[in-house]
Amino acid sequence: MNNQHCELNELGWSDWFEQRAGCKPTATIARVAAVDRDQLLLVDQTSAFRAKLAGSYLYRHHLSHELPCVGDWVCLEKSGDFGVVRAIIERRTSLRRKSAGDVIEYQMIAANLDYVVVVQSCHFDFNLKRLERYLVMVMDGGAEPYILLTKTDLLDPGVVAAQLAEIRSAGITAPIATVSNVTREGLDDFKRLLLPGKTYCFVGSSGVGKSTLINQLMGREIFETKAVSGTGEGRHTTVRRELIRIEGGALVIDNPGMREFGIFGAEGGIGSSYSDITSISSSVVSPTLLYI
């Protein structure tokens, strides 16, 4: 991330974190922009730099959700352009999935998100039940959901309008945007939703156009994209999560495509109304079975 000389709050820092940080006075605070095996890419007011987790932290924390993920704030010791992370600051919100296996363990997708943008393509990918499952997962983690329908250029406007009506008639009240990355219709309206200093995490199936859209928002090709199959299936092009700051100051996380997931207690379908979703959301134990 190119963040030369920006304030921490431009990277998403707020009083909420300030009150909970508890870092040593000599420590530096930075945000996790990417996790590459045992190395972290961090950003602070002055630069992007590499870091690793302190051995003492690893000794005390074994569960995968205790390890830093994209979007986390960390306390570290910085020497030159390398850091040693001593602690993760409490997460305000998160997006997480249950790991496969009998032991209930969470795998973090990303942390400290203000909004999760659930992306579906109008073309082949649109699926109300899956959308509902995503919304439950988002609300379970405490972020606000946005719904984004892409590839409107490939369908008759009447079909897109029917999909919007289907979403609303299911009682889903989350804001919905529609966009075509080809004609750019809807792009400016969507851009206006993205506020400086707020963090937006893009999730959805492979091939729906997440990276294409983020490239459009950046105004240049920073993420690789790849054509989908004739039936709209993506190629799992994005394999790395990364937090970037786009023009206008919003913080955006691209994600690898997700194949399928379910929610604890909701395997048989969530029911047909948003009130069902919200009641599940407040009582749900965890999202589960989400494969990337």
Residues that bind ligand GTP (CB under 6 A): 150-151, 153-154, 180-182, 206-212, 225-228, 234-238, 256-257
Q: How far is CA 280 from each of CA 73, 136, 176, 204, rounded to the nearest angstrom?
A: 29, 7, 21, 21
Kindly state the smallest distance separating residue 237's Cβ from ligand GTP, in Å: 4
Nearest to 37 by CA among 240, 211, 224: 240
Kindly state the smallest distance separating residue 121's Cβ from ligand GTP, in Å: 7
Distance CA 136, CA 118 (A): 11
Kindly state the smallest distance separating residue 212's Cβ from ligand GTP, in Å: 3
Q: 200 vs 274, which CB is nearer to ligand GTP?
A: 200
Distance CA 214, CA 96 (A): 22
Distance CA 239, CA 227 (A): 15
Counting Cα atoms < 13 Å in the Cβ hemisphere of 58 gives 8
Partner that binds at residue 236, options Mg ion, ligand GTP, none, CB closer than 5 to 8 Å by kind: ligand GTP
Kindly state the smallest distance separating residue 1's Cβ from ligand GTP, in Å: 19
Give the footprint of Mg ion on residues 201-240 (CB under 5 A). 210-211, 237-238
Q: 76 vs 116, which CB is nearer to ligand GTP?
A: 116
Q: 112 vs 178, which CB is nearer to ligand GTP?
A: 178
Q: 250 vs 258, which CB is nearer to ligand GTP?
A: 258
Q: 93 vs 255, which CB is nearer to ligand GTP?
A: 255
Alpha helices (H) along the chain:
15-20, 55-60, 128-141, 157-169, 187-193, 210-218, 274-283
Handedness of CA 232, 172, 198, 187 (dihedral sign): positive
Distance CA 79, CA 51 (A): 10
Partner that binds at residue 65, options ligand GTP, Mg ion, none, CB closer than 5 to 8 Å by kind: none
* Residues of this chain that bind Mg ion (CB under 5 A): 210-211, 237-238
